């Protein structure tokens, strides 16, 4: 069959995988190939156990895989055949050299650019799908267009706004799709090609076209604004705990103002995930490198409040459990950075587990999807931990439960049965405010939620 477009995606991760699955589903007239250097990951994408847990994704993969969607490790062949290449490799925070701890590590990105150059005998459109520092497109073009054969590559920015746990819905019905290019004739032509892909299912009014720098910067800005909302409400949660105001009531009242809006105001143990922290720190680094110290400090404080919120959670546990948790069994309900994913990158649970271990607590980790990743994250202290998928078993013999992920599963457990198997007095620390605190208090638990007055029997 002749395909209208031959699309390649380099990077079969949380973004590349689901995005290409949805493009292949919506556009049977295109051939979509996803390549990755990680052989096990590609093998998993081609098996019955795809490498990421994302509601609804399994079913879609089954529909299109080996029809117009292909997963492969043949990166070079893929580059050779494609007209349009989405690059969705990881761009973590740099851990070494200049900018360590803040700047984006672009080594995977640059390697990809060089691979594209080495395996292309004609011009192609290169789409920045990864989240990148503003002005990366110009570095990319310099590498690509410096070739002696005069092959021309056009770099387009098309950042991804999906959130994990709702990736399929976010991709099928996005608030907006953003496509930035150079404002030249060739740039606009390339942009139009990418618009054409999304126009297969996204209403035109939701496809935003912009210059390439605005597009790159909008992605960092969107994540910074979202994280800022969480840090803002989390900072208020601390005042609520001191004043008997209730953070849920405050968030509800504040969010009713249509200028503010109700979403993303859930106070929590802290935001996690692979992107918020890294992208804000990247923004901070960019500001610092332009000498914008005040702007850098402003955004860095969003990350600092988040770190403080995580630390505060551990301190609350310690001080309320009579200032010692040494030898006490503590069950963590949830380890993923949010519900409906097995992803644990930058999960607050990692920091909290380590903090509890420092206090010599006996920590039992429970999570319906994230136990394998939890074991990897905590490899160095694995022998001091217990991993138990069944929350009833995890809480048996425990002094305290800490809810760290808002899985629905934890809302509906038999907490009476759980309490009877716990050491008394039993404590619950609800880091996600998902439980019925009054009911638990009446059962005899001492209940500590985020941004609410404590409910204690002593």
Q: Which residues are annotated as catalytic?
A: 275
What is the helix (H) or strand (E) element at residue 133, kind and residue range? none
Single out the residue of 68, 90, 181, 396 in contact with ligand NAD (rule: CB under 6 A): 90
413 binds, among ligand NAD, ligand UGA, none (CB under 5 to 8 A by kind): none
Sequential DSSP letters for 36-84: -S-HHHHHHHTSSS-SS--TTHHHHHHHHBTTTEEEES-HHHHHHH-SE
* Cβ proximity to ligand UGA, 269 vs 331, nearer residue: 269
Residue whose CB is nearest to ligand NAD in the complex, by number: 13
Distance CA 342, CA 65 (A): 22
User: How many of the chain's residues bind ligand NAD (CB under 6 A)?
Assistant: 27
SS3 label, residue 262: coil
Decide: is 264 part of the binding site for ligand UGA (CB under 6 A): yes
Question: Pairing mode, if any, of strands 154-157 and 329-333?
Answer: unpaired
Decide: is 25 part of the binding site for ligand UGA (CB under 6 A): no
Nearest C-alpha neighbor of 147 from the set 115, 118, 184, 112: 118
Decide: is 89 part of the binding site for ligand NAD (CB under 6 A): yes
367 binds, among ligand NAD, ligand UGA, none (CB under 5 to 8 A by kind): none
Decide: is 268 part of the binding site for ligand UGA (CB under 6 A): yes
Binding track over 95-134 against ligand NAD, x by CB under 6 A: -------------x--xx-----------------xx---
What is the helix (H) or strand (E) element at residue 145, kind and residue range? helix 136-145
Query: What end-to-end distance do the CA atoms of the chain give, in Å?
Result: 73
Decide: is 91 part of the binding site for ligand UGA (CB under 6 A): no
Minimum gap (Å) between residue 87 Cβ and ligand NAD? 9
Distance CA 146, CA 125 (A): 15
What is the helix (H) or strand (E) element at residue 173, kind and residue range? none
Q: Is the peptide bond before 315 cis (omega within 30 degrees of 0)?
A: no
Using only C-alpha atoms, the chain has a radius of gyration, in whole angstroms, of: 24
Single out the residue of 26, 129, 182, 338 in contact with ligand UGA (rule: CB under 6 A): 338
**Helix 276-289 with 293-320: angle, nearest 10 deg:** 150
Q: Which of residues 159-178 bind ligand UGA (CB under 6 A)?
A: 160-164
Q: Which of residues 188-247 bind ligand UGA (CB under 6 A)?
A: 223, 226, 230
89 binds, among ligand NAD, ligand UGA, none (CB under 5 to 8 A by kind): ligand NAD
Residue 72 CB: number of other CB atoms within 10 A? Answer: 16
Nearest C-alpha neighbor of 402 from the set 335, 312, 338, 306: 335
Single out the residue of 10, 179, 217, 374 in contact with ligand NAD (rule: CB under 6 A): 10
Decide: is 271 part of the binding site for ligand UGA (CB under 6 A): yes
Minimum gap (Å) between residue 164 Cβ and ligand UGA? 4
* Cβ proximity to ligand UGA, 233 vs 317, nearer residue: 233
Interface residues with ligand NAD (CB under 6 A) are 10-16, 35-38, 41, 75, 88-91, 108, 111-112, 130-131, 160, 162, 164, 274-275
Q: Which residues bind ligand UGA (CB under 6 A)?
A: 131, 160-164, 223, 226, 230, 264-266, 268, 271-273, 275-276, 337-338
């Amino acid at each position: 069959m002749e395909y209208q477009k031959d699309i390649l995606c380099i990077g079969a991760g949380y973004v590349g995988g689901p995005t290409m699955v949805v493009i292949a589903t919506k556009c049977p007239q295109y051939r979509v190939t996803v390549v990755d250097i990680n052989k096990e990951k590609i093998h998993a994408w081609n098996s019955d156990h795809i490498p990421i847990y994302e509601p609804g994704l399994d079913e879609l993969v089954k529909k299109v895989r080996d029809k117009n969607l292909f997963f492969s490790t043949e990166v070079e062949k893929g580059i050779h055949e494609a007209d349009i290449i989405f690059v969705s490799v990881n761009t973590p925070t740099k851990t070494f050299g200049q900018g360590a701890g803040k700047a984006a590590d672009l080594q995977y990105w640059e390697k990809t650019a060089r691979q594209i150059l080495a395996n292309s005998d004609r011009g192609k459109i290169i789409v920045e799908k990864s989240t990148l520092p503003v002005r990366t497109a110009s570095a990319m073009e310099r590498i690509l267009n410096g070739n002696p054969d005069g092959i021309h590559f056009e770099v387009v920015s098309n950042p991804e706004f999906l959130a994990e746990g709702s990736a399929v819905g976010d991709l099928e019905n996005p608030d907006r799709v953003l496509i930035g290019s150079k404002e030249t004739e060739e740039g606009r032509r390339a942009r139009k090609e990418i618009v054409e892909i999304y126009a297969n299912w996204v209403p035109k009014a939701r496809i935003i076209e912009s210059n390439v720098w605005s597009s790159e910067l909008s992605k960092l800005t969107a994540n910074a604004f979202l994280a800022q909302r969480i840090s803002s409400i989390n900072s208020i949660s601390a005042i609520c705990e001191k004043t008997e105001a209730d953070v849920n009531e405050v968030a509800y009242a504040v969010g009713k103002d249509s200028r503010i809006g109700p979403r993303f105001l859930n106070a929590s143990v802290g935001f996690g995930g692979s992107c918020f922290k890294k992208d804000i720190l990247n923004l901070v680094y960019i500001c610092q490198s332009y000498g914008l110290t005040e702007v850098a400090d402003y955004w860095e404080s969003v990350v600092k409040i988040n770190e403080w919120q995580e630390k505060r959670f551990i301190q609350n546990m310690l001080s309320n459990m009579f200032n010692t948790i040494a030898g006490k069994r503590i069950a963590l309900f949830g380890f993923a950075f949010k519900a409906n994913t097995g992803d644990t990158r930058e999960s607050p649970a990692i920091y909290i587990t380590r903090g509890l271990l420092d206090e010599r607590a006996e920590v039992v980790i429970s999570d319906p999807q994230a136990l394998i990743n939890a074991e990897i994250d905590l490899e160095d202290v694995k022998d001091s931990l217990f991993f138990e998928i069944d929350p009833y078993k995890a809480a048996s013999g425990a002094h305290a439960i800490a809810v760290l992920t808002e899985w629905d599963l934890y809302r509906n457990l038999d907490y009476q049965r759980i309490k009877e198997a716990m050491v008394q007095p039993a404590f619950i620390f609800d880091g996600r405010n998902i439980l019925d605190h009054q009911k638990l208090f009446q059962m005899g638990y001492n209940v500590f939620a985020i941004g609410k007055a404590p409910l204690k029997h002593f």
